[in-house]
């Protein structure tokens, strides 16, 4: 009877060991999956952090380029305004010169008319 009890006890212990072994293997598998998930999340975070730093640097560079471009645009506008003022002055000078030229042409024509009249009257007066 003692052998039967011993064999039952051994059988119960074997079954318990098998249950504990299965539970232990399941726990290890779950632990491995959690570690894998944690590693994936860590890798995703590192990747996101690197992308954030990269985009931040790119943003800073673009802002710097924008500032430079705005400064250049301001300078170009100042140059454009100066050129416009010079153009207006040139146009005024041209108009002044044209009006002076017209006056001189009128004066020339008047002098030519006077000269023609003087020549005609001088020729007419000589035969007398």
pLDDT beyond 90 at 46? yes
Q: What is the mean pLDDT of residues 84-102?
A: 96
Query: How much of the chain is helix, strand and coil, in % rounded to 5?
Result: 95, 0, 5
pLDDT beyond 80 at 127? no
The full set of domain ranges for the chain reads 1-128
Q: For residue 114, what are its two tokens? A: 């006077």
**pTM score, whole prediction:** 0.52
Based on its alpha-carbon atoms, the radius of gyration of the chain, rounded to whole angstroms, reads 54
- The span from the CA of 102 to the CA of 57, in Å, is 66
pLDDT band of 121, cuts 50, 70, 90: confident
């Amino acid at each position: 009877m003692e052998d039967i009890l011993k064999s039952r006890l051994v059988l119960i212990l074997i079954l318990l060991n098998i249950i504990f072994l299965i539970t232990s293997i399941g726990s290890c598998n779950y632990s491995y999956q959690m570690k894998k998930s944690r590693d994936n999340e860590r890798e995703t975070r590192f990747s996101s952090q690197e992308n954030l730093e990269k985009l931040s640097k790119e943003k800073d560079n673009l802002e710097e380029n924008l500032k430079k471009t705005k400064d250049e645009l301001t300078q170009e506008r100042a140059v454009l305004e100066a050129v416009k003022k010079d153009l207006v002055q040139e146009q005024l000078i041209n108009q002044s010169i044209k009006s002076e030229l017209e006056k001189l042409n009128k004066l020339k024509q008047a002098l030519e008319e006077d000269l023609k009249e003087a020549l005609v009257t001088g020729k007419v007066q000589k035969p007398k």
